Structure 1
Amino acid sequence: MKTFKWAAIALLFFALVSIVPGHSSAQFKFSDISPDKEYFDQVHYIAELGIVNKADKFNPGNNLTRAHAAKMLVIASGKKDMPTPNVQFKDLKPGTEQYEFASRAVELGYFKKKADGSFGPNEKLKRDEMGYALSVAFNLSQNITVDRPLMLTDMKDHPFAKEINGLYYGGVSQGDAGKFLPKDYLTRSQFALFVARALNDEYRLTVKLPEQTSRTYFAKVSTGGDNLNVRTHPAVTGDVVDRLKDGEIVEVIGQTGDWLLILINGNNGYIHSRYTVEVGSQAPSDDDDDVATEEPEEPEVSEPEDTEPGDESDNPSPTNGLVGKVTANVLNVRKSPDGTSAVVGKLSLNQKVAIESINGNWAKINLQSGSGYVHKNYLKLINQTGNPLKDRIIVIDAGHGGKDPGTLKNNLTEKEIVLKVSKLVEGKLKNAGAKVLTTRSSDAYLTLEQRTDYAKKHYAEAFVSIHVNSAGSTSAKGSEVYYDSSTNPNATESRLLANKIQENLVKGANMSDRGVKDQRFYVIRNNNVAAVLVELGFITNPDDFKKLSSEQYMELYAEAIYQGLVQYYAAQ
């Protein structure tokens, strides 16, 4: 009797354990797929979702048929319960399972009927057909651009090129040794991998994006006399769109492997880095004397497009309790608001002067000898009363935009994230009384030059460019803020602003501290005011991605940038 009792208890215990979620004995497994297989988790994942039938065997090496693929995609895309379309097939009868799924797949655009009106349910599926169907089912299509070049060389000129390009950048398929092999047949295990990756971020491949950032420099062509081809994408299979002469200098705005992304005649293209040498962060120019050094002279400022010549001097803005702190070693005081006007005095670094009025780029100040004018770019303007940000002209630059999405993960792009954060920063600054301007308020594309020109045209006093980072490794994480000391005459002020923003990002958004760094990013080195470039976090890191895709953390990022600006302007 006791033996029976304990045996019953043991049976009950094992029965309970067997139904505990996640316990190994409760998990279904195909007998012909061992745990060491690359596709083990993915096949069982889609089986648990009901995309494939749970049976003794999966037959992973068998070729996939069009009928099988149609069924799997319809279920995976959540269209299993849609009404059965009235599609006529030469080789399928209504009421059969193959017809039910094939008609839905055709209606949804995943597959097309053959020219003779048949579906070909038992035909083996080729990889290009699969790529098209999967791309349509999960909206993965990606136009081939300089930012998203076609990396699978055997898809050039293929009618499904942009669909396969979408699989590449969506982390679904990256081909084999740079090729997609479009006419090869597809196995059941391969298709299971692709479907699982399309459905679940955990299974997606790490995408190596073109390393285009705001850092730019100039390179000289060095071929020994030959011309250098400029191609549409970073491979010898790219179309030749231009040629550069030996010794010619071009601006480099990014890099993919050994290929440099350059600006040429207003367009982008790729050249091989082997045939170039870097020549510095600035192209040779006749305007180098305009850069302030030990004794800065005021840069020539063109009239803004939205005013008529003479408007500046006619409409000065009076100030109340505003002080200017000199940020240059020596700053000329001029008789009138003109860079060619006579010098009537000089100010030294950190000297403070009362501001009587501001007109465009010129500040009227009071000296013991009388009034004079100094270039506003070399003053930190400090409010003596009220909010430190009141009336300060601050430009917020949301990086990328339009045809330039920046880095991305799971269809979330850098351009979307930074635009949302920028708008939040804008609102906070406006509430504080700042005169805040944004380079873009929508999904618009601007060149790097347009962004800096915008700041100068509107007499910016501070410039904050907002970006999202990415890396080849998922371990890279955290925030970092950049300033430039190579050409920006306000490098010290830029560094101070960068420090304040970085401190608040680390504290307020609990980001790993990657520090403040001196780098030649275009939008900060081609500015002449306190200018910083903020990298909020790494989209390629799981922890950072959760924050970057969170509305709560977008608010925290915006608050950190706002507080950084407050603290910078509050410092006397």
Structure 2
Amino acid sequence: MKTFKWAAVALLFFALVSIVPGHSSAQFKFSDISPDKEYFDQVHYIAELGIVNKADKFNPGNNLTRAHAAKMLVIASGNADMPTPKVQFKDLKPGTEQYKFASRAVELGYFKKKADGSFGPNEKLKRDEMGYALSVAFNLSQSPTVDKPLMLTDMKDHPFAKEINGLYYGGVSQGDAGRFLPKDYLTRSQFALFVARALNDDYKLTVKLPEQTSRTYFAKVATGGDNLNVRTHPAVTGDVVTRLKDGEIVEVIGQTGDWLLVLIDGADGYIHSRYTVEVGTQAPSDDDVATDEPDEPEVSEPEITEPEVTEPEEEPNTPSPTTGLIGKVTTNVLNVRKSPDGTSAVVAKLSLNQKVNIESINGNWAKINLQSGPGYVHKNYLKLINQSGNVLKDRIIVIDAGHGGKDPGATSNKLSEKTVVLKVAKLVEAKLKNAGAKVLLTRSDDTFLSLEQRTAYAKKHYAETFVSIHVNAAGSSAAKGAEVFYDSSTNPNAKESKLLASKIQSNLVKNANMSDRGVKDQRFYVIRNNNVAAVLVELGFITNPDDFKKLSSEQYMELYAEAIYQGLVQYYAAP
């Protein structure tokens, strides 16, 4: 590039500006499209690309014909120079422009010949035909799933449902008030909008995926005696996959509008929130509760805090000797067993905050020496403290970058939560490794993991602390600041979690100059279903202008990582 002459650079710049969104009218403008029209930039954009002819008028309100659509799609998809296929049409003659583009469109699969062998070049194009052709041309088809349900209600059972669903999630078309209107005719301006969106991300519509949040809770079905339908997607057009009885309790893992995404026997589906009450937030009347259905179990700090489930799948390593390592008991009463086995005989009991010397660690079991001889305790209920050297050395810390893959998390101005938190997680990883910690990432690339997979990963690898990193969002741009969550509902290490949360939060406020939203007790899945010190960090609000600048800044990503790192250092340094 250094050898370019300034004149050449200037010519290149102006050539590019002519097709950049917002600048398409610099050299050419249709006389019948004013700048205030929704489709002004898009129409001129495709004109500059040669998809439509530059002429005095565009005739935006005219209906689009099949011949016009075929030509535009063939050019837009980069197939203008392909050899003309020999396709016989009852109503088109080889050698004509209509034949050239119609035969290519049929060969490419955008359109099909009619049953009588004709193409119908002058027939007005319907929206469902357009949706199919556009989806095939740009490879946008998307079968309806729980993650990407069919949101356009009038496309249920339509033969082009997956193609139209692809337009919705591709940011090309989101219909009209929840309907696609498949049999309506298409105007030239509408098609220009759709083609421009398919070609250029700057024109795409913002796609709101069904909300998948880390907060989970239990809801009780309250129908007054009727069964409640569970559907495949958040609309009454969703297929009914099962039914819930009045009084049943289900776990809610997400929400789309008034519809709750719930887990049922390992599968998921949608129920309407109108017929539920959140357990613990509202006391149901006697009529709401079936006598044979239990309320959400009360959680109390257990007397003996060893897991009743089988140990992690990963086999323990050979016992690792330790030097200068002590363990502080984090539960009221902790059994000391004769051997590293939850069924082994109890030889002693330890009390809250009691400190013991650790001789070795094997998987989840720590060997200690008592006056009566050696014994074993479950290390999940010990805070392991190094008496010399770096406090983080050999500590097993899991860093969880939220969202990922098909789940972008919160987004704003092309910045996604999944990207920000992965960068911060990797920076934290590097700092922890440099301090001698054994740090593990739940994901190290753009991969989707379920909430259950994240907690299972931590348990499988004998995690001693767990930090999940997220970015916040709100309907109002005024919401701003950092906050850190812990769980006291089921996590037996709630007090340790709260201490870790407070250390990280204070560093976020101090190091990154974040507004202080505090430390909060909340039932987020990944911290509620952990049994070690576990926190969920919300770095800031991607929907707030000030926080957005920080979240999109490499400098502040480093500051966020340093805050989390220092919080872990201070947590482990606390006696």
Task: Give the structure-1-normalised TM-score.
Answer: 0.79
Point out the more displaced range, 139-148 or 29-38.
Answer: 29-38
Counting matched residue pairs gives: 542
The alpha carbon displacement at 1:160 in A equals: 1.6
Q: Which AA in structure 2 matches 1:69?
A: A
1:303 to 305, 311, 331: 311
CA contact (8 A) 1:208 1:472 kept: no
Q: Aligned residue for 2:336?
A: 334
Point out the more displaced range, 547-556 or 115-124.
Answer: 547-556
- Decide whether aligned partners of structure 1 residues 261 and 113 sit closer, same or farther in structure 2, where only a CA change above 3 A counts: same
Alignment of 1:438-449 (within 5 A): 438-439=441-442, 447-449=450-452
Q: Aligned residue for 1:5?
A: none
Q: Work out the CA distance in 1 between the residues paired with 2:118 and 2:480.
A: 52
CA contact (8 A) 2:24 2:41 kept: no
Q: Work out the CA distance in 1 between the residues paired with 2:544 and 2:141.
A: 24
The alpha carbon displacement at 1:462 in A equals: 1.5
Q: Aligned residue for 1:16?
A: none
Give the secondary structure class of the aligned counterpart of 2:255: strand
- Decide whether aligned partners of structure 1 residues 184 and 537 sit closer, same or farther in structure 2, where only a CA change above 3 A counts: farther
Q: Aligned residue for 1:323?
A: 326
Give the secondary structure class of the aligned counterpart of 1:241: strand
Give the secondary structure class of the aligned counterpart of 1:84: coil
Q: Aligned residue for 1:13?
A: none
- Decide whether aligned partners of structure 1 residues 193 and 286 sit closer, same or farther in structure 2, where only a CA change above 3 A counts: closer
The alpha carbon displacement at 1:243 in A equals: 1.2
Q: Aligned residue for 2:289?
A: none
Identity of aligned residues (%): 83
Q: Which AA in structure 2 matches 1:88?
A: V
- Decide whether aligned partners of structure 1 residues 506 and 435 sit closer, same or farther in structure 2, where only a CA change above 3 A counts: same
1:451 to 442, 451, 454: 454
Point out the more displaced range, 209-218 or 408-417.
Answer: 408-417
1:265 aligns with 2:265: yes
Q: Aligned residue for 2:177?
A: 177
Q: Work out the CA distance in 1 between the residues paired with 2:169 and 2:546.
A: 21
Alignment of 1:13-412 (within 5 A): 26=26, 28-77=28-77, 79=78, 82-90=81-89, 91-280=91-280, 292=301, 297-300=305-308, 302-307=310-315, 315-328=318-331, 330-332=332-334, 334=336, 336=338, 341-342=345-346, 344=348, 346-349=350-353, 352-366=355-369, 373-399=376-402
- Decide whether aligned partners of structure 1 residues 198 and 494 sit closer, same or farther in structure 2, where only a CA change above 3 A counts: farther
CA contact (8 A) 2:218 2:296 kept: no
Q: Which AA in structure 2 matches 1:34?
A: S
The alpha carbon displacement at 1:53 in A equals: 2.9
CA contact (8 A) 2:223 2:275 kept: yes
Q: Aligned residue for 2:287?
A: none
- Decide whether aligned partners of structure 1 residues 247 and 100 sit closer, same or farther in structure 2, where only a CA change above 3 A counts: same
- Decide whether aligned partners of structure 1 residues 286 and 30 sit closer, same or farther in structure 2, where only a CA change above 3 A counts: closer
Q: Over residues 203-246 of structure 1, what are the superposed CA-to-partner deviations in whole Å (9 max), with x where a residue is unaligned? A: 33333321222222112222222111111111111111111111
CA contact (8 A) 1:292 1:298 kept: no
Q: Work out the CA distance in 2 between the residues paired with 1:538 and 1:141.
A: 33
- Decide whether aligned partners of structure 1 residues 40 and 287 sit closer, same or farther in structure 2, where only a CA change above 3 A counts: closer
The alpha carbon displacement at 1:86 in A equals: 2.4
Q: Work out the CA distance in 1 between the residues paired with 2:513 and 2:96.
A: 57
Q: Work out the CA distance in 2 between the residues paired with 1:225 and 1:417.
A: 47
Q: Work out the CA distance in 2 between the residues paired with 1:112 and 1:551.
A: 51
The alpha carbon displacement at 1:149 in A equals: 1.0
The alpha carbon displacement at 1:180 in A equals: 0.3
Q: Work out the CA distance in 2 between the residues paired with 1:468 and 1:141.
A: 30
CA RMSD of aligned residues (A): 4.3
Q: Work out the CA distance in 1 between the residues paired with 2:561 and 2:191.
A: 42
Q: Which AA in structure 1 matches 2:367?
A: K
The alpha carbon displacement at 1:297 in A equals: 3.8
Q: Which AA in structure 2 matches 1:84?
A: P
Q: Over residues 400-439 of structure 1, what are the superposed CA-to-partner deviations in whole Å (9 max), with x where a residue is unaligned? A: 5677676678999876876777667656655654434455
Q: Over residues 513-557 of structure 1, what are the superposed CA-to-partner deviations in whole Å (9 max), with x where a residue is unaligned? A: 766543211121111111123456667789988998999998887
CA contact (8 A) 2:501 2:519 kept: yes
Q: Which AA in structure 1 matches 2:382?
A: L
Q: Which AA in structure 2 matches 1:483?
A: Y
CA contact (8 A) 2:488 2:521 kept: yes
Q: Which AA in structure 2 matches 1:148?
A: K
Q: Aligned residue for 1:17?
A: none
Give the secondary structure class of the aligned counterpart of 1:212: strand
Q: Aligned residue for 2:8?
A: none
Task: Give the structure-2-normalised TM-score.
Answer: 0.78
The alpha carbon displacement at 1:452 in A equals: 2.6
CA contact (8 A) 1:221 1:248 kept: yes
- Decide whether aligned partners of structure 1 residues 237 and 50 sit closer, same or farther in structure 2, where only a CA change above 3 A counts: same
Give the secondary structure class of the aligned counterpart of 2:206: coil
Q: Which AA in structure 1 matches 2:228?
A: L
Q: Which AA in structure 1 matches 2:205?
A: L
CA contact (8 A) 2:314 2:460 kept: no
Give the secondary structure class of the aligned counterpart of 1:192: helix
1:531 aligns with 2:534: yes
The alpha carbon displacement at 1:127 in A equals: 0.7
CA contact (8 A) 1:85 1:107 kept: no
Q: Which AA in structure 2 matches 1:302?
A: T
The alpha carbon displacement at 1:305 in A equals: 3.7
Q: Over residues 363-417 of structure 1, what are the superposed CA-to-partner deviations in whole Å (9 max), with x where a residue is unaligned? A: 2345678655443223222334444433222334454567767667899987687
Q: Aligned residue for 2:487?
A: 484
Q: Over residues 278-323 of structure 1, what are the superposed CA-to-partner deviations in whole Å (9 max), with x where a residue is unaligned? A: 2249x9599867x536x6644435234454xxx79xx532112223
Q: Work out the CA distance in 2 between the residues paired with 1:458 and 1:118.
A: 65
Q: Work out the CA distance in 2 between the residues paired with 1:552 and 1:404.
A: 25
Q: Work out the CA distance in 2 between the residues paired with 1:499 and 1:522.
A: 19
Q: Which AA in structure 1 matches 2:301?
A: A
Give the secondary structure class of the aligned counterpart of 1:74: helix
- Decide whether aligned partners of structure 1 residues 55 and 301 sit closer, same or farther in structure 2, where only a CA change above 3 A counts: same
Give the secondary structure class of the aligned counterpart of 2:32: coil
The alpha carbon displacement at 1:440 in A equals: 5.6
CA contact (8 A) 2:70 2:105 kept: yes
- Decide whether aligned partners of structure 1 residues 63 and 81 sit closer, same or farther in structure 2, where only a CA change above 3 A counts: closer
CA contact (8 A) 1:88 1:117 kept: no
Q: Work out the CA distance in 2 between the residues paired with 1:100 and 1:171.
A: 30
